[in-house]
Every structure is written in structure tokens, then in C-alpha cells.
């Protein structure tokens, strides 16, 4: 998709569709007022009739509008003037673009206001994401990327940054949406390598032999039941000073999770292609960071396994020895993501980063606590957690901190090994999982993001299709911008 700035008047530009913005409870202004005048007051008449209210993400189409060189004029609601931010822009522009993407369009022009760079960036990113759906294996897609986006009055660099963000979020979404017979540890590693090469990243891949040599017994324990060998992908971006401690991004990459011998029921298993969402998020974020040439050093680490059932699969009661030397009693083979992350976090901590952020579709308990749209944050360092929270708020992504009280850590003490991989009963499962991960980061500042809810959408929203959402890619890029 080509994205470029236009300085043409709204009455002069030729496009398959033109999008204008309308702020609630105000008269049409700027390009919207110009479009209203050109169409003999069509927008004003619809406002007076209550058909256009300016409600956030409301989409109203005017077909074959007089006075404009387009077949469709779309008026998108921006909500109240004082509520306009990157989150509301994402929802509004995404809704307009998704509405138009139902059919093939050549050029779509956006005349939505005199916005600053971050708002334009959010809008362009949202438009690109809205045009990609989960139907990647259908003969005929339901959503169609535009050939070209023209954006009126964009600040320098904002269009390019928005395109990078949108394409990087879509990379994450596509990988999450691919079925497990297409994306498994080897193929994920291959696609990560290709994306990394395009972005100018250094690539290192640990195969089965290397993982064994590195004593990654916890990760390898999970992978035993699958015929697909595991991988650890390490990507490095050097954008900062040579002596600047890097930011480490760690992702859980369980490319399919059957639950192992703690077998999931059918309804819980059918979307488990998404259990590599953390790894896909790390890949999307670090490629965006590199393409944006941010002045920061970043390492991305993705632990990739399948959790399957076979005669060699790990069992309840097994004791695994992690790379750090800690022993782990396995009391639930469906609590496998933390076992994968245990070794990957140990590798990350050994690299002496300035901070570690891990992302994982880790616990249903986090969904119970926070719902499906909010990511849970757990940390050993409030300063790092605050940076993540601030970045998420700036991007319009929803997060909430969950407590890390000592008694949650006591619940994972084992009588037969150093720790066990579940707590005591169903209560507080998101926090006991985080306390498990904390065992493997040492003194490194660390924040865990449980994206079990927002990483995969069971149903579509007006601004994005169902399936992989790319949640937290934008947040990680925002953290890197201020690292």
C-alpha cells in the first residue's frame, strides 16, 4: 500500500473515496466544511436530521456526492473535541477504513483535521490494519487493502512512521492468524529471519542441539511431545551507543498448545494457534523499532515450541531442570508457557539488559480478572512498569497492574523441587504465574505483560477484524522511543 501526503483541496482531489472527520456538537470545520459547501450542505442536513452525530467511530457514507471527485464521501465521528487522542483516532480511522475495505478501492483520501504527528501516525497505522483480515486462506477475502492512501496536511515523517507501525502490527497479526500447520517453531524462525533481514537486524537461531548444549531443560521439556523441534530466535538491533544497556523483549511462542496431558477441551483448544502471540508481538515491535531507526539498543528473544501429547511428552510429576539450575515440579502440563519463558528469560538476563519486558498469552486467570481487552502488568520494578503503563496509555492500549505480593511466591514452592509450575488452586493464577517468571530474571528490572485477553479477538470490532490483534506492538515501540 502506498501512503503519501496531499496538499490538494478536497474539491480538487480525485479518489475512490474521501474520508472527513466530524467532532461531536460542533459545526463542520476545515475540510469537512469545504466538503459540506461543495455538496450543497449535505453534511449539515444529515447533522440536523440526527443521522450524523459525531459519536466516536460513527461512520456515515454519502454516495455520489455532488461537487467532489469521488463516488463516496465518508464522515467519521471523532467524539468530543477534548477526547481526541491516539486511541480514539485508531478506533475512528480504523472504523472508516474497515468500512471502505469491504470492497476493492484504488485511492482513498483522508481529510480529517489539522493533527499533530502522533495522531496522524495513529490514523495511518489504523487504516492499514483495518484493511487486513484473518481470512488469509480464503479464495476471496472479505477485506481489501487500498492501493493508495493520500493524507491531507500530514507533518513530516508521520506518514512514514504510521506505515511502519501499521505494517509491523499486521506482521504480528498475520503470524497469529496462521494455522499451526503453517506456523510452527521452524517456520516461525524462518519468517522471523526474513523479516529481520528486511529490517536490518542481526539474527541468531538456536536449534535443538544448541538448546540442549545450553541446558534449556525447561523449554525442552515442553517440546518433547511434538515432532516439531523447538527454536530460540534472538534478534539484535544496534541503534544506540555501544555502551547503552539494551532493552530486552521476550516473547512466549507456543505455536500450538494442546495442553499436553492436561488436555484442553475442544472449545479451549481450537484457537490455540494464537499461543505464540507474545513471540509475534516481539517480532512486530523489534522490526518496527529497526525500520524507524530509533536511537536505542534492543534484543528480541522468542522461545518457540509446540505443546503436544505423545509417548515422550512431559508428564505430571516430572521434574525439569531449567537453564538457571532451578528445578521445577510439573503439576500441570497446560501451564507450559512459563516453562518456556523460564529459559528464555534466563538467556535475556545473562545479556545484562537495562530492562526486560516479556509478553505472553499466559493465563486465563488474567482474562477473568481484567476482561478480554486489558493486558495485565506485573513487575519487580515500578519505574519500568510505569514506563510501560505510560507508553500504553499514550498509544490507547489498555493495561492494568496486578499485585506481586510475597505470598503469591510462596504458593509456587514445591516439596520435591525448588518450585512448581502452578500455585495452590485456581485463585490468583495470573500472579502466581508472574512470580514463577520472576524466579528467572535475577536483579534485572522486569515487567511481565499477560496478553491472554487482548492478543486474539473472538469477534470483530468496527475498526479491526477478529483474530490476531497485534496488541502491545505500538506500546513496545513507544517504550523504545523513550528508552
Beta-carbon contacts of residue 15 (< 8 Å; ≥ 6 apart)? 69, 70, 106, 107, 108, 109, 150
Contact call for residues 134 and 90 (beta carbons, < 8 A): no
Residue 25 pLDDT > 90: no
Domain annotation covers residue 85: yes
Same domain, 295 and 332: yes
252 and 323, same structural domain?
Answer: yes
Q: Quick one: CA dihedral 132, 133, 139, 144, positive or negative?
A: negative
* Percent of the chain with pLDDT strictly greater than 70: 100
pLDDT at 352 over 90: yes
Q: Tell me what the pLDDT averaged over the chain comes to.
A: 97
Same domain, yes or no: 132 and 195: no
Predicted pLDDT at 482? 94
Q: Write the pLDDT tens digit of every residue in 136-158.
A: 999 999 999 999 999 999 998 99
**N-term to C-term CA, the chain:** 30
226 and 96 housed in the same domain: no
- Same domain as 212, residue 120: no
Q: Catalytic residue, from 5, 215, 264, 481: name it.
A: 264
Residue 136 sits in a domain of what CATH number? 3.40.220.10
Number of domains in the chain: 2
In a domain? residue 456: yes
In which domain, by residue range, is 83 found? Answer: 2-156
From the list 231, 252, 338, 420, the catalytic residue is 338
Is residue 122, in this structure, part of any structural domain at all?
yes
Query: Minimal CA–CA distance to 465: which of 160, 184, 141, 149?
Result: 141
- Cα distance between residue 289 and residue 296, in whole Å: 9
The pLDDT value recorded for residue 202 is 98
Tell me, yes or no, whether 264 and 144 share the same domain: no
Cα–Cα distance for residue pair 297/303, rounded to 1 Å: 20
Evaluate whether 153 touches 20 at the Cβ level (below 8 Å): no
Query: Does residue 133 register a pLDDT over 90?
Result: yes
Catalytic site includes residue 413? no
Predicted local confidence at residue 425, as pLDDT: 82
Kindly state whether residues 171 and 124 are assigned to the same domain. Answer: no
Is there a domain that residue 162 lies in?
A: no
- Tell me, yes or no, whether 161 lies in a domain: no
- Our CA angle for 306, 310, 311, nearest 5°, is 140
323 lies in the same domain as 448: yes
Q: What is the pLDDT of residues 162-202, one digit of tens each?
A: 999 999 999 999 999 999 999 999 999 999 999 999 999 99
Residue 44 has pLDDT above 90, yes or no: yes
Tell me: do 115 and 190 sit in the same domain: no
DSSP letter (8 states) at residue 168: H
Give the residue from 156, 185, 220 where a domain finishes: 156
DSSP result, 262-328: SPPPHHHHTTGGGGGHHHHHHHHHHHHHHHTT-SSEEEEEEEEEEE--STTS--TT-EEE-TTS-EE
Domain CATH for 381: 3.40.630.10
Q: How many percent of the chain have pLDDT more than 90?
A: 99
Confidence of residue 378 (pLDDT cuts 50, 70, 90): very high
121, 87 contact by CB (below 8 A): no
Indicate whether 200 and 226 sit together in one domain: yes
pLDDT value at residue 346: 98
Q: Are residues 411 and 285 in the same domain?
A: yes
Q: Select from 156, 180, 198 the last residue of a domain.
A: 156
Pick from 130, 156, 182: which residue ends a domain? 156
Instruction: Indicate if 264 belongs to the active site.
Output: yes
Tally of helices (H runs) and strands (E runs) in the chain: 16, 19
Mean pLDDT (whole number) for 325-348 = 98
Would residue 55 count as lying in a domain?
A: yes
User: Do 30 and 93 belong together in one domain?
Assistant: yes
CA distances in angstroms from 113 to 44, 217, 297, 387, 396, listed in the order given: 17, 55, 35, 30, 19
Amino acid at each position: 500500500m502506498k501512503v503519501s501526503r496531499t496538499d490538494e483541496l478536497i474539491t480538487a482531489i480525485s479518489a475512490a473515496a474521501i474520508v472527513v472527520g466530524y467532532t461531536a456538537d460542533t459545526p463542520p470545520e476545515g475540510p469537512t466544511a469545504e466538503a459540506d459547501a461543495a455538496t450543497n450542505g449535505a453534511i449539515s442536513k444529515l447533522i440536523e436530521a440526527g443521522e450524523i452525530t459525531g459519536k466516536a467511530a460513527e461512520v456515515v457514507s454519502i454516495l455520489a456526492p455532488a461537487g467532489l471527485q469521488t463516488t463516496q464521501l465518508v464522515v467519521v465521528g471523532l467524539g468530543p473535541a477534548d477526547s481526541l487522542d491516539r486511541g480514539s483516532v485508531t478506533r475512528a480511522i480504523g472504523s472508516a477504513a474497515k468500512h471502505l475495505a469491504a470492497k476493492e478501492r484504488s485511492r482513498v483520501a483522508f481529510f480529517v483535521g489539522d493533527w499533530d504527528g502522533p495522531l496522524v501516525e495513529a490514523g495511518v497505522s489504523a487504516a492499514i490494519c483495518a484493511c487486513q483480515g484473518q481470512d488469509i486462506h480464503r479464495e476471496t477475502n472479505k477485506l481489501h487493502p487500498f492501493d493508495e492512501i493520500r493524507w491531507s496536511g500530514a507533518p513530516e515523517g508521520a506518514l512514514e512512521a504510521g506505515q511502519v507501525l501499521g505494517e509491523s502490527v499486521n506482521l504480528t497479526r498475520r503470524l497469529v492468524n496462521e494455522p499451526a500447520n503453517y506456523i510452527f517453531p521452524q517456520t516461525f524462525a524462518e519468517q522471523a529471519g526474513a523479516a529481520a533481514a528486511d529490517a536490518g537486524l542481526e539474527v541468531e537461531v538456536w536449534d535443538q542441539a544448541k538448546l540442549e548444549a545450553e541446558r534449556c531443560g525447561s523449554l525442552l521439556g515442553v517440546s518433547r511431545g511434538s515432532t516439531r523441534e523447538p527454536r530460540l530466535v534472538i534478534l539484535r538491533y544496534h541503534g544506540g551507543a555501544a555502551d547503552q544497556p539494551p532493552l530486552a523483549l521476550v516473547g512466549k511462542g507456543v505455536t500450538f498448545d494442546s495442553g499436553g496431558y492436561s488436555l484442553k477441551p475442544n472449545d479451549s483448544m481450537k484457537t490455540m494457534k494464537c499461543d505464540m502471540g507474545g513471540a509475534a508481538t516481539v517480532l512486530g515491535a523489534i522490526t518496527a523499532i529497526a525500520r524507524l531507526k530509533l536511537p536505542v539498543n534492543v534484543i528480541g528473544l522468542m522461545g518457540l515450541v509446540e505443546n503436544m501429547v505423545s509417548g515422550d511428552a512431559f508428564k505430571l510429576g516430572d521434574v525439569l531442570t531449567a537453564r538457571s539450575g532451578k528445578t521445577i515440579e510439573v503439576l500441570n502440563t497446560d501451564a507450559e508457557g512459563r516453562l518456556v519463558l523460564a529459559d528464555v528469560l534466563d538467556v535475556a538476563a545473562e545479556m545484562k539488559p537495562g530492562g526486560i519486558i516479556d509478553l505472553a498469552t499466559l493465563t486465563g486467570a488474567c482474562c477473568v480478572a481484567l476482561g478480554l481487552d486489558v493486558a495485565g502488568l506485573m513487575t519487580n520494578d515500578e519505574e519500568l512498569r510505569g514506563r510501560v503503563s505510560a507508553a500504553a496509555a499514550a498509544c490507547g492500549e489498555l493495561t492494568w497492574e496486578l499485585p506481586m505480593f510475597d505470598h503469591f511466591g510462596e504458593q509456587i514452592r514445591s516439596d520435591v523441587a525448588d518450585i512448581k509450575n502452578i500455585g495452590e488452586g485456581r485463585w490468583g493464577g495470573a500472579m502466581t504465574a508472574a512470580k514463577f517468571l520472576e524466579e528467572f530474571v535475577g536483579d534485572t528490572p522486569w515487567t511481565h505483560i499477560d496478553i491472554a485477553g487482548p492478543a486474539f479477538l473472538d469477534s470483530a470490532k468496527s475498526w479491526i477484524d477478529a483474530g490476531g490483534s497485534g496488541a502491545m506492538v505500538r506500546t513496545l515501540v513507544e517504550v523504545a522511543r523513550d528508552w
